[in-house]
Amino acid sequence: MLLKDADKVVKLLKKHKLTISTAESCTGGLLSGAITAVSGSSDVFNAGIVTYSNDAKMKYLGVKEETLQKYGAVSEQTAYEMSMGVKEKNGADIGVGITGIAGPTGGTEEKPVGLVYIGVNGVVTKNIFAGEREDVRQQAVVKALNMVLDFVENNH
């Protein structure tokens, strides 16, 4: 599933001569790995960064400290700033930001395990994925790849 979706993304980005950069937290590089597993991805993939800590989100992506304090690392606002920051800092046409709680620990009533925010060029979705840690991570990557496909098809 991942490779099939990643292959579609790479082909579509090539067709439109677009580049992509990724900023990942809970997926830990899984999205970057899926894209770069596709032959020819070097034509479209600029950079992928795993920003697990809040400090890294601020330092490498320009996520505002106020955003993290007010809304938390797992929030629509943080996913927005991650996607826009990685896009701008790497000169990519498309920036993807993923932040969430993969579990099995770390969840709260307000932010349960499986909650993942995904941003593509500032368009953010809130997702609740089911299953174990790896299930959540895989589902988040598939959703992100499909969001990129939708974004490109609707905007290019």
pLDDT of the residue at 146: 97
pLDDT of the residue at 35: 98
**In a 10 Å sphere around its CB, with 0-12 CB exposed, 13-18 middle and 19+ buried, how is residue 104 labelled?**
exposed
Q: Which residues pair with 98 in a beta bridge?
A: 24, 118
In order along its 156 residues, the chain shows pLDDT tens digits of 677 999 999 999 999 999 999 999 999 999 999 999 999 999 999 999 999 999 999 999 999 999 999 999 999 999 999 999 999 999 999 999 999 999 999 999 999 999 999 999 999 999 999 999 999 999 999 999 999 999 999 998
Q: Which residues pair with 115 in a beta bridge?
A: 128
Q: How many CB atoms lie within 10 A of CB 127?
A: 18
pLDDT of the residue at 1: 66
φ, ψ at 75 (rounded to 5°): -160, 160
**In a 10 Å sphere around its CB, with 0-12 CB exposed, 13-18 middle and 19+ buried, how is residue 148 labelled?**
buried
pLDDT of the residue at 2: 73
Is CATH 3.90.950.20 correct for 2-155? Answer: yes
| Tokens at 21, concatenated | 């950069």
